[in-house]
Structure 1
Amino acid sequence: MPSEAKRGDQRLECQDPVPDLNIGKGPVRPYVITEPPRALSESRTPSSMKEKLLIAALLLITGVVRLHSLSNPDSVVFDEVHFGGFASKYIKGIFFMDVHPPLAKMLFAAVGSIAGFNGDFEFSKIGERFPESTPYFFMRLFPSILGVLTVLLMYLTLRCSGVRIPIAFIASLCFAVENSYVTISRYILLDAPLLFFIASAAYAFKKYEIYPQGSWASQKALLSAGLALGMAVSSKWVGLFTIAWIGLLCIWRLWFMIGDMSKPVGKTVVEASRKLVYLLIVPAILYMTFFYIHFDALTISSDGAGFFSSAFRTTLQGNTIPKDILADVGIGSVVTIRHIATMGGYLHSHDHMLEKGSQQQQITLYPHLDGNNDWIIELNEKPNAPLTSFEGLMDGTIIKLKHLGTQRRLHSHDHKAPVSESADWQKEVSGYGFDGFEGDANDDWVVEIDQDASEPGEAQKRVKALDTKFRLRHTIMNCHLFSHEVKLPKWGFEQQEVTCASQGKEHLTLWYVEANYHPQLPEDAERVSYKKPGFFEKLIESHQRMWHINKNLVEPHIYESKPHSWPFLLRGINYWGENHKQVYLLGNAVVWWSVTAFIGIFALVVSSELISWQLGYEVLQDPKVVNFHVQVIHYLLGYALHYVPSFLMGRQLFLHHYMASYYFGILAFAHALEIIVTYVFRKREVYGYAVAGAFLSCTVYFFISYRPLIYGSPWTQELCEKSKWLSGWDYPCHNFLSSYDDYKKIETEQAQEALYPSQTLVAGADAKPTDNQNAPVAEPASDEEFDVDKIMASPGLKKFVDQNGNELPFDVVKDVLGNGGSVMSVEHRSHTDIL
């Protein structure tokens, strides 16, 4: 007799995860009963021993695939330059600027710190070798484990949405060997943590749907969804689209709950309130908490702080922002003038000329503190006049600004701007004059205080350092001193262009005095300093900077791609290449194109069903078909919400920006495999499973065929060329060797070099050690004693060079030795250097 546990397992295995529709009869119309049956959670939750063993097998296979050879390459790969570098800065507490929220980067820093990383390696360039002190293996292990767990989450999510065990296993296995997901989960990148949190949110919400409303299990699942959403949006702003997806699913569910006549209205209101708290307020609290930790951890000033306002930078250790500044600004003051917008650069000049227009001295906006930011305020009628007393700078005063370093004055005239020359409303601003010159009318500017932007009180009437915001209007051109994001060419050191604008956005013409010195003011004169911003002020400013920089990442990149190309996998991304090996992000074309094709087919099927319904034909009421439609619409809504916004972005985009959308596409496609088994081949399910098995086989075959591009392992030029199904798959096949034997030869040579350090023979009558001052010098030898051919065949020896590094042929070496020249052993060179 089977045991009770076995009978329970058998009962659960036989239970259909898609129950019949529960339709209630109202006085006027039928309605859907939204309360799930009690048995639903049991049928969609792994509980049998067989299923648990299947999950264990799935994790084992995924672990082998995702964790294989993590230490290879042993150098920096792709965006590890950024995110590994940020982890280093977290550990050392050095402030930096990034366009993404902090959580995922902090997690990498935490893992690195636990593994012993002290931040001494900065991940400065792709291909840079990791020193022994950098635990890069453990830092890569973290996203790889998250990648393994994401496969588990896909399986559990599919089970919660009504997919049978075999199909959930097959679909998850396809995801486990999906080339692009394997690649992005192996390196110190944000994608694996982001996808893990998105997958966690999707699973938690689908789990919430299978429990009775208000039950403890449903509340735990809903809270888990909120926590996962908070961590997703705290890793990348892509998480906002996941919040929007779950929000729309809540509205969908709420719509049917309102129409459910068996459910009291009060209960619906309570559930809606609970969702508001768990799915919006909890993520918001988490998001702000991680930023609080971010600000608290990064306390040391650096170049990255240059993106922020001076007030923000005063909160950092080692900042050089002026403090205790003389408040009153007047004629004769030596000042630095800071631009309000465009991340607040300083009005700047230097002894270099414009290469266009008047060819007078350059005037730019410069983001760093510098002596060339200093200007002397002069009264327009009394330039170069000696100071006898302090005269405040009032609204409407006409002034000249003389550059302290070069003695040239701020000047404008009817010349086109050097870069914005096509804009007739912008004129050139230059430095003009010489020491002792009193200037001309084109040096005159009217001070116009902006009362709305200035601090209330005296700062609205006369110029006060920090508090008064003002414009400078040219008296003749009637244009305002202006700056924007446009950069000068290399001859202008790529600093920001300054022009005189008669149009344009008003905030781009606002300035204020940051540093101020006046010899006539007493020591006890009023002084001001920046007010240190609080947490919320820093949070708002950091988001303004993040958004500003993110939208301006428009420089072309060799591996960027457009959103319309992503569903067709027209090209990938080159991550790394060295030693005749390559890492290239490429999706598994079998899964990738199947998802794309299914989305198109499903759209056609739904369209035809809607037309048939309008014509009066019956719509299929089979529970499995209904569940198929509901779940696929849910997942494709997630696909669309994560994909469509990409078309609105003007910044550079890459294939990996499609990964979150693609995840939802695979979830939807898994339901296509499910409906093939349960409906298309419902009388011959074995055929449906055969189709799913064949699909898995093709997926695994593609993975195996292209695995050298994932693991950076040996491949041949011939196999590489044959693998290029599309011209956009632009991994460089010429980098690979002709055969696998060639790789073995290199490995053998490297092993021999390790045992017998290779030598370079320096030949010449007056040869002296150059690479190794302690190299032993051999006595001259005869041709009989010095067998060149024999020595050249020795392990590791590559070539002969003279003392200048010039290669010598064999016969020259023999002649040198025969004429009394010497041979010395010097520091060996690597195989790659010599090749």
Structure 2
Amino acid sequence: MSTPQGARQRGKEGSKKRGTTPNPDGSTAMMNGHAAENFDKLKKAGKEAVTNEWDYKLALAVITVLAFVTRFWGISHPDQVVFDEVHFGKFASYYLQRTYFFDVHPPFGKLLFALAGWLVGYDGSFLFENIGDSYVTNRVPYVAYRSMPALMGSLTVTATYWIMWESGYSLPACIVAASLVLFDNAHIGQTRLILLDATLVFFMALSVLSYIRFYKLRHDAFSRKWWKWLLLTGISMSCVISTKYVGAFTFFSIGVPVIIDLWDLLDINRKQGPLSLPDFGKHLSARIIGLIVVPLLMYLFWFQVHFAILSRSGPGDDFMTPEFQETLSDNLMTQQAVGIDYFDNIAMRHKETKVYLHSHPDKYPLRYDDGRISSQGQQVTGYPHNDTNNLWQIVPSQPLEGPGHRVKNGDIVRFRHLVTDNWLLTHDVASPSQPTNQEFTAVGAEDANGPRLNDTLFEIRIENGKPGQEFKTMASHFKLIHFPTKVAMWTSATLPPLPEWGYKQAEINGNKNLVQSSNIWYVEEVPGLPADSPRLIKDEKKVKTMPFMKKYFELQRAMFFHNNALTSSHPYASFPIQWPFLLRGVSFWTENDTRQQIYFLGNPIGWWFASSILAVFAGILLADQVSVRRGVDALDTRTRSRLYNSTGFFFLIWAAHYFPFFIMGRQLFLHHYLPAHLASALVAGALVEFVFNIEPADLAGFTEAQLQEAKKGSTKTQAQQGVRGRPVRERIAGQSLLATWAASAVIVAVLIWGFIFFAPLTYGRPGLSVEEVNARKWLNYDLHFAK
């Protein structure tokens, strides 16, 4: 499983000088006469292979044409917004408008959509607000948008075939692997819409292909082609992770064989001769540059492009700090920020959940549901709507002379609730739902200005603020730290709402972890300021600058936090255990009048075949290991090497792109399995060859007695076929190749039938009758118009 050692170089050896053989460092060594003779045979065989590869090339051309036909056919239908096109089409429009937005995915895939819109001269005026909105009415060049993923989806099929071809598999094996992707309804459906997965899967396949080409040049190290394919591997992997963070799985898939390959190069007893430590250092450095440094620089480059384009204020502002927002033109925060004075009445709002700090006369109950006793103090909660109960007067901790004293970063302050005239307080009493956090409450003036004064003291701590910096509305994101106990005022979307006694409002409590970003609040407004107040006079604000890496790390933190927060339920979410068996799909689009629908679903026959092949492969490996342990060597060296190294490499890719999803807590959907499905198609093609095909070289391990026995036992058959004089090796190889072709033809035919049967759900037309819909309701496919 370490490296794709099944890869062959067809005809490449023919270009070497007679009598020499390449060493790993690119040098050559003299061969003895017998070796030279063998090399001549190899060179001749290589030339013949090149001459005979017209069949591979013809099949590649046919498969590529079919890929374009299946992906582009009827791409203009439907002429409405479909499923997640509401997100990625919107993001492309924001790029074209240069309006800042926020998304949990890196920018590369979305930039490609923006490029498609820019190339056709679109201005991005349509914002893809709702599924079903008309593209025609709003004059959106949606076909240009959809053509970008359709192009990459088509080339993914080509790359799949090319991977098998470069890995040295027979033509039937290449066709089976490519057909599993070519005629898969899920790959087709996902690559005909404005979605990111086509980009992800294409560059994942290109990464695998580039690495195989690079590995095949291991005996020509540091040549131009060696460097070319090394760098292409790194660039392709960078494009994967620059589209979605699950691209890290591709880095792991390639990284494992690279590390094992380096470990083999370090071996002083390697067959090709030992490498000196300086030479090994060159190999190590080259891989670090090609597979780590270059991908990292490219990844950062796309974020630089992202920041450079999105220069105007937009809907993504709220996810960023005030310092970041000040780098955007037309930012409302910088335009509307008002300095806060002591004794102002302010409304504080939580940055992430957007609830206001709220209180009302009701008390906490004596006992909570778990039997714990509360302070029975006045409730302090989070309320999502603007209300007079959200107003708090900010009061200095020490008396001040005269009005107009500005609140600043680091000040110790107190808060008086305007409606109830009670004072904000937290103390060493457990909160309603979290025994580890402190309860927030409000107490009367007698306690607040007497024995409990210290419990009402809070520090204003502005995020990234300088000492003495002015505290402003909107512009100052801050943490409110309780001065005596050092807990932060906190709430979270993950907290359960309060019970009926708390009117289902959000719980506010004291968080001991001060560094959490969910501790951040801001002041939305200072109500009641007169229109002629000098505090409302704004100087013209200049757009500020911010170092790229600082912007990058801030955006990364926000992206990872919100990606992990995608834990809410979704009617079409599914679990990883369901994906290989295609137990359910996703409804993308429906139209009641025509009874048309797009339902995201793979070709069940192809998915079940590929999944069963994965189990067969694991069983073969287990059986082989048990046989070897018992002294029965059922496989020759070449076949075992191909099985473990080449097919094992494909299996590693599948596992790396599948099993990590089991430990994710976010929403997951069937489309997350598409990269793993492509890898399973590669394993399936390889296993078809393993099971059915025996090449002449595979018969080298047969003893002459075994071959004669096979010849005697098949004399009658030879006579009937008129091939009595044909060598036994060629006859057996021919029969096995015929069996491989027959098996492959059956597999492809069944795949085509499954594709055509489910095509109306993939292309969204024609509309199906009730009987036709029910005929396709396999397993748990919750199709529309079934009655």
- TM-score between both structures, scaled by the size of structure 2: 0.76
Change (3 A) 1:346 1:483: same
Question: Contact between 2:425 and 2:440, CA under 8 Å: does it hold in 1?
Answer: yes
**1:100-152 per-position Cα deviation (integer Å, ceiling 9, x unaligned):** 00111111111022223221211111111113520111211111111111111
1:216-615 to structure 2, matched below 5 A, reads 216-259=224-267, 260=270, 261-265=272-276, 266-322=278-334, 332=343, 343=352, 348-349=356-357, 363-364=381-382, 375-379=392-396, 387=402, 399-402=413-416, 408-412=421-425, 421-426=432-437, 429=440, 445-447=455-457, 471-473=480-482, 481-486=489-494, 497=506, 499-501=508-510, 507=516, 532-578=545-591, 579-615=594-630
Tell me the distance in 1 between the aligned counterparts of 2:333 and 2:224. 54
Change (3 A) 1:375 1:264: same
Residues 195-204 or 481-490, more deviating: 481-490
Tell me the distance in 2 between the aligned counterparts of 1:68 and 1:455. 56
**1:182-218 per-position Cα deviation (integer Å, ceiling 9, x unaligned):** 1111100001111111111111111111123222212
1:160 and 2:186 are equivalent in the alignment:
no
Change (3 A) 1:734 1:352: farther
> What residue is the counterpart of 1:674 in the other structure?
689
In the TM superposition, residue 314 of structure 1 has moved relative to its aligned partner by 1.2
Aligned match for 2:738, one of 652, 672, 686: 686
Question: Contact between 1:567 and 1:592, CA under 8 Å: does it hold in 2?
Answer: yes
Residues 631-640 or 52-61, more deviating: 52-61
Question: Contact between 2:355 and 2:385, CA under 8 Å: does it hold in 1?
Answer: no
> What residue is the counterpart of 2:646 in the other structure?
631
- TM-score between both structures, scaled by the size of structure 1: 0.72
- Higher RCO structure (Cα 8 Å, ≥6 apart): 2
> What residue is the counterpart of 2:123 in the other structure?
118
Q: Secondary structure at the match of 1:725?
A: coil
Change (3 A) 1:346 1:79: closer
Tell me the distance in 1 between the aligned counterparts of 2:646 and 2:175. 18
**1:52-99 per-position Cα deviation (integer Å, ceiling 9, x unaligned):** 333221122222211110011111111111101111111111111111
Q: Secondary structure at the match of 1:317?
A: coil
Tell me the distance in 1 between the aligned counterparts of 2:596 and 2:606. 25
Tell me the distance in 2 between the aligned counterparts of 1:705 and 1:655. 20
**1:445-483 per-position Cα deviation (integer Å, ceiling 9, x unaligned):** 454659999878778xx99999997654388x9975333
How many equivalent pairs are there?
689
1:722-733 to structure 2, matched below 5 A, reads 722-726=775-779, 728-733=780-785
1:652 and 2:670 are equivalent in the alignment:
no
1:62 and 2:67 are equivalent in the alignment:
yes
* Equivalent AA in structure 2 for residue 721 of structure 1: N
Tell me the distance in 2 between the aligned counterparts of 1:637 and 1:584. 30
In the TM superposition, residue 364 of structure 1 has moved relative to its aligned partner by 3.1
* Equivalent AA in structure 2 for residue 422 of structure 1: S
* Equivalent AA in structure 2 for residue 364 of structure 1: G
> What residue is the counterpart of 1:128 in the other structure?
133
Aligned match for 1:82, one of 78, 87, 104: 87
**1:692-736 per-position Cα deviation (integer Å, ceiling 9, x unaligned):** 11011110111111110111112222122122231x11112426x
Q: Secondary structure at the match of 2:508?
A: strand
* Equivalent AA in structure 2 for residue 309 of structure 1: T
Question: Contact between 2:688 and 2:744, CA under 8 Å: does it hold in 1?
Answer: yes
Tell me the distance in 2 between the aligned counterparts of 1:193 and 1:380. 57
Tell me the distance in 1 between the aligned counterparts of 2:670 and 2:635. 38
Question: Contact between 1:174 and 1:700, CA under 8 Å: does it hold in 2?
Answer: no
Tell me the distance in 2 between the aligned counterparts of 1:234 and 1:42. 41
**1:658-714 per-position Cα deviation (integer Å, ceiling 9, x unaligned):** 111111111111101122332397461212210111011110111111110111112
In the TM superposition, residue 321 of structure 1 has moved relative to its aligned partner by 2.7
In the TM superposition, residue 511 of structure 1 has moved relative to its aligned partner by 6.2
> What residue is the counterpart of 1:641 in the other structure?
656
1:144-183 to structure 2, matched below 5 A, reads 144-183=150-189
Question: Contact between 1:154 and 1:172, CA under 8 Å: does it hold in 2?
Answer: yes
In the TM superposition, residue 347 of structure 1 has moved relative to its aligned partner by 8.3
**1:720-754 per-position Cα deviation (integer Å, ceiling 9, x unaligned):** 2122231x11112426xxxxxxxxxxxxxxxxxxx
Tell me the distance in 2 between the aligned counterparts of 1:209 and 1:653. 34
> What residue is the counterpart of 1:780 in the other structure?
none
In the TM superposition, residue 362 of structure 1 has moved relative to its aligned partner by 6.2
* Equivalent AA in structure 2 for residue 236 of structure 1: K
Tell me the distance in 1 between the aligned counterparts of 2:301 and 2:364. 51
Question: Contact between 1:412 and 1:474, CA under 8 Å: does it hold in 2?
Answer: no
Q: Secondary structure at the match of 2:177?
A: helix
In the TM superposition, residue 264 of structure 1 has moved relative to its aligned partner by 2.2
1:137 and 2:143 are equivalent in the alignment:
yes
**1:584-631 per-position Cα deviation (integer Å, ceiling 9, x unaligned):** 111112221111111112112212222232333336234234213211
CA RMSD in angstroms comes to 4.7
* Equivalent AA in structure 1 for residue 684 of structure 2: F
> What residue is the counterpart of 2:633 in the other structure?
618
Identity, % of aligned pairs?
26
> What residue is the counterpart of 2:369 in the other structure?
none
Question: Contact between 2:486 and 2:512, CA under 8 Å: does it hold in 1?
Answer: no
What are structure 1's unaligned runs of at least 5 residues?
1-10, 16-21, 25-34, 736-835
Question: Contact between 1:425 and 1:501, CA under 8 Å: does it hold in 2?
Answer: no
Residues 157-166 or 184-193, more deviating: 157-166
* Equivalent AA in structure 1 for residue 310 of structure 2: L
Tell me the distance in 2 between the aligned counterparts of 1:394 and 1:595. 61
* Equivalent AA in structure 2 for residue 715 of structure 1: L
Q: Secondary structure at the match of 1:149?
A: helix
Residues 598-607 or 650-659, more deviating: 598-607
* Equivalent AA in structure 2 for residue 378 of structure 1: V
